[in-house]
Chains A and B, each alone.
Chain A
Amino acid sequence: MAKVTMVEAINMAHAWEMAHDPSVVVLGEDVGANGGVFRATVGLQQRFGAARVQDTPLAEGLIAGAAIGLAAQGIKPVAEIQFMGFIYPAIDQIASHMARLRNRTRGRLSCPLVLRMPHGGGIHAPEHHSESLEAVLCHHAGLRVVCPSSPARAYGLLLASIRNPDPVIFLEPVRLYRFIRQEIEDDGQALPIDSCFVLREGADLTIATWGAMTVECLKAAEQLAGEGISCEIIDVASLAPIDFDTILDSVVKTGRLLIVHEAARTCGLGAEIAATVTEQALYDLLAPIRRVTGYDTVMPLYRLEYDYIPSLARIVDGVRATLAE
């Protein structure tokens, strides 16, 4: 078994599926000879040929729209948007068509495809390269939005996303691309989609989080464990639709919920989780639900990015405040 980074795991998942499903085609800006700006698709063009790994012109709307057409014709596109901050020209295609083609045609046409993109900040990248815009996508019924938080989950969830019969937006936390190495069996085993992952069990409080923030939350849990505070960490992973059963079960067990996300607070996914838990488990709560999130500001340029991204201290204090209620 190889010890691989998340970006290598993503590459492995591409390769496995391309080897086993000839309909899988990779497209995007710089995904061919360059192997993607983060090297997620490196070597695929050499291995599977130029026909199956294609650089597109520089147009995100085109990439998303062409993926729809490809998919409706039975090709399985795995398309890359270079950075999530560049997704806006593609939103028209995603919202107006990708999310609703199946519904518009009462199931006659569909577009099983994967639109991958780097997500979030923390790598000192330039302006517009560090955005966390999952909420913009989760608002559109008909889409799945998935965000892995480890090499193993990236591998398994990307396979599941490619095999899913509906369009999946696959968010890859840039901060985790090369953060850790993990042993992964390259066996083509998918992980369940539409499902949370409990990363750590605990009794006092539930933390629901995803993407790069899972790492910070695990650190917080470790630190708090030393004080006798037991946190349960849930990697929400599938951001749309959300596996609320797992979250609710955990909240019923612990009675307290902290939601941590990097994206801005207002209309962030944390609000949706808090609202649903309030509707369904209010009487099990021992304390108000809290959120630790990015601020309602523009993602700052990189010198302030760690002032924006929720810090370990903010998470730890969020846990303590929730427990003090």
Chain B
Amino acid sequence: MTVFKLPDLGEGLSEAEIVRWHVKVGDHVALDAPMLSVETAKAVVEVPSPISGTIVALHAQPGERIETGAPLIEFAPDPGADSGADAGTVVGQMPGALVEDAAGAALEAANAVTRPRVRAVPAARALARSLGVELGSLTGTGRGGLITLDDVMAIGLPARGASSKMHPAPAPAAPRPPAASPAAPAGAAAGGPADVEQLRSLRRAMAQSMALSRDSVMACSVFDDADLHRWRGGADYSTRVLRAIAAGARAEPGLNAWYDADSQSRTLFEHVNVGIAVDTADGLLVPVIRQVDQLDAAQLRVELDRLKLAARERTLKSEELRHFSFMLSNFGMMAGRYATPVVVPPAVAILGTGSVRQDAVALDGKVQVHARMPLSLTFDHRVVTGAEAVRFLGAVIADLERPE
């Protein structure tokens, strides 16, 4: 049986009225023989038979209106005749008629869930998302309470887009690119005139970043000591520690990395950008030494001194506070042997150095007195394994124990 449906007989005609049938049930009709007259909104047209066959049913009476696409007539096709099935039908109906009256559907009762809207610079919004920071928890300092990139930065977290080349690790089924993508925010990329940052409420920022760390990082710490007995000449603890961190990262890149929990992806960095915790009267600042792995001891020292001075004088540029891939806290400058320093996401590890002291060391069956540096490594166990952490720490120690 072949059902012939009313085609669109003009251009965009939705219906037609049957004027008269030229055939009746039981009639045999030849292909292209006149079958019926219909009146559309535009014309009265003759519809010929689409096939040769016998008419089995007529689905509408004269005077009746039927819609484009509705069954019009049913045939028993002649044996061997092309069934006229709609395989090649290319014109007919517009897809999907709207049942509802469009204006009736208009102004459907408001599904009025009004949420407090936080206005934020897009880059700030993106950064906050990558860090898991609720924008609502911040107070915007921009015009009209707008949350700026610096407002997010000021909670003490690194921002994105280090100048170093990054090598994203294979992302485990990441639905979208890691939030910590290499795209640099404008402020970070700008090598232009210094925009000297007025830091605000460092303590508030610290509170927020620590809370964030507590809420997201699975912190695990490991402790050891580096024997400095073989050091020669004047000891520059800070530069040696920075170099040792670079050595650690070479041995185990998994700690010189970012982790984006949202996309479950991590980014491994080619270079080591170490954020150094600096104590200031107002609170903690974390200026960043870039590409520690590329600098020699003298260069490291110069850069370290410059940053510390800038931190104390509040002349750090905002980009100097961004993009660390690893963090160092040399709390031992004052006191303290071991600690459990806090990992600040998206970084995954932090090394703490305690105060160097003379220890009684067992060596070849004898007790000797050596200078030793206590080391405390905290890592994010969500993304760093214990083995990776101790491999890193072992490399740090090995480098620190070299004579120079």
Contacts and interface: CB of A to CB of B under 8 A. Distances in A.
Question: Do the two chains touch directly in the complex (Cβ atoms below 8 Å apart)?
Answer: yes
B119 interface: yes
A316 interface: no
B91 A124 contact: yes
Contacts of A190: none
Interface string B81-118: 00000000011001111100111111111111111010
Interface stretch (B6-14, B48-56, B182-190): B6-14
Contact of A214 (B102, B110, B112, B115): B102
A319 B294 CA distance: 47
B395 interface: no
B111 A199 contact: no
A150 B100 CA distance: 12
A58 to B, nearest CB: 19
Interface of B: 8, 11-15, 41-42, 90-91, 94-98, 101-115, 117, 119-122, 125, 142, 146, 176
A174 B101 contact: no
Contacts of A38: 11, 42
16 contacts: A39-B41, A125-B12, A150-B102, A153-B103, A174-B11, A179-B12, A181-B101, A198-B106, A200-B106, A201-B107, A219-B96, A219-B98, A283-B146, A284-B119, A312-B96, A324-B176
A149 B103 CA distance: 9
B156 to A, nearest CB: 23
Contacts of A255: 117
Contacts of A203: 110-115
B12 A178 contact: yes
A225 B110 CA distance: 12
A200 B111 CA distance: 10
B14 A179 contact: yes
A122 B102 contact: no
Contacts of A129: 11
Nearest to B115: A203
A131 to B, nearest CB: 14
Contact of A303 (B15, B90, B104): B90
Contacts of A302: 90-91
Given A39-B42, A180-B98, A285 B91 contact: no
A62 interface: no
Given A198-B107, A286-B125, A312-B96, A124 B8 contact: yes
A284 B117 contact: yes
B11 A152 contact: no
A285 B41 CA distance: 46
Interface string A201-232: 11100000000001100110010010000100
Given A124-B91, A182-B101, A283-B146, A177 B111 contact: no
B94 A123 contact: yes
Interface residues of A, number: 51
A303 to B, nearest CB: 6
B94, B104, B109, B125: which has the most chain A beta carbons within 10 Å? B94
Given A39-B42, A202-B111, A283 B103 contact: no
A263 to B, nearest CB: 18
A218 B101 CA distance: 11
A123 B96 contact: no
Given A175-B12, A201-B108, A252-B117, A306 B102 contact: no
Given A178-B14, A200-B105, A306-B95, 12 more contacts: A123-B94, A125-B11, A149-B102, A150-B102, A179-B12, A182-B103, A200-B106, A200-B107, A201-B107, A203-B115, A253-B114, A303-B90
Given A178-B41, A201-B107, A303-B90, A218 B102 contact: yes
A285 B124 CA distance: 12
A201 B110 contact: yes
Contacts of B15: 178
A282 interface: yes
A285 B8 CA distance: 44
B112 A201 contact: yes
A230 B113 contact: yes
A218, A225, A302, A324: which has the most chain B beta carbons within 10 Å? A218
Nearest to A198: B107
A7 interface: yes
Interface string A244-260: 00000000110100000
B96, B98, B103: which has the most chain A beta carbons within 10 Å? B103
B11 A123 contact: yes
Contacts of A124: 8, 11-12, 90-91
In order of increasing CB-CB distance, the 3 nearest A-B pairs are A123-B12, A201-B110, A230-B111
B148 to A, nearest CB: 10
A300 B186 CA distance: 42
B186 to A, nearest CB: 14
A7 B115 CA distance: 42
B234 to A, nearest CB: 53
A61 to B, nearest CB: 24
B47 to A, nearest CB: 17
A274 to B, nearest CB: 14
Nearest to A222: B105
B108 A178 contact: no
